[in-house]
Amino acid sequence: MRILSLRLAVATHLVVAVGLMAASFPDPPSVTVPTAPAAKKATVVLAGGCFWGMEGVFEHVKGVTDTEVGYAGGAKKTAHYEMVSEGSTGHAESLKVTYDPSKITYGQLLKIYFSVAHDPTTLNYQHNDRGTQYRSAIFYADEDQKKLAEAYINQLNEAHVFRSPIVTKLTPLEAFYPAEQHHQHFLDQNPTHPYIVNVDLPLIDALKRQYPDLYKK
């Protein structure tokens, strides 16, 4: 459920504050993910609150060639918005990011994920959305993705970049189920929706401000 209340503005300011720290946000550690020189396509599945905003951020990142919102972490039969919204399916609202490794690295995507796209220190909620379906999670496709994500989380925690420890779960990707069509690119189709205006557009503004070299219109 997309909850709007008087507390929404406060939550928005907190998210923007996370984005503001991006100017000095540390780069990923030197545990790089090897990619073949000819590789032109790779994917990563990320979760961090409402998938509308996650998609809105990453579709504006240079090197990202496609985005698709959906569900990960649960069974195929429960991969439906109404069921996932109940918070008992095991699914998280997720985003599959397809990117060109020759133009942007997996580590750079993680940097945006941790510093701009969501708050990785809040357990099972983002903004006023509550429930395990809004958890922070990286559904890794292979051991290389897992290794770099683990190293980066440890680095950020040890440097006390956030006031609280990162609670992002690292889970092997078993399946990704695309969400209903009306949720795909929802931000682009509904730019004046109150939730989009108050919560998601500030995230894109933070991306543009903090990472101008990675931002695309």
Q: Which residues are catalytic?
A: 50
β-pairing verdict for 92-99 and 42-48: antiparallel
Place of tokens 């292979």: 142
What's the CA gap between 198 and 195, in Å, rounded? Answer: 5
User: 3-state DSSP helix/strand/coil percent for the chain, to nearest 5?
Assistant: 40, 20, 40
- Sequence-separated (6 or more) residues with CB below 8 Å from residue 30: none
What's the CA gap between 16 and 29, in Å, rounded? Answer: 25
- Secondary structure E strands in 3-159: 42-48, 64-72, 92-99, 125-126, 129-130, 136-140
What's the CA gap between 165 and 144, in Å, rounded? Answer: 23
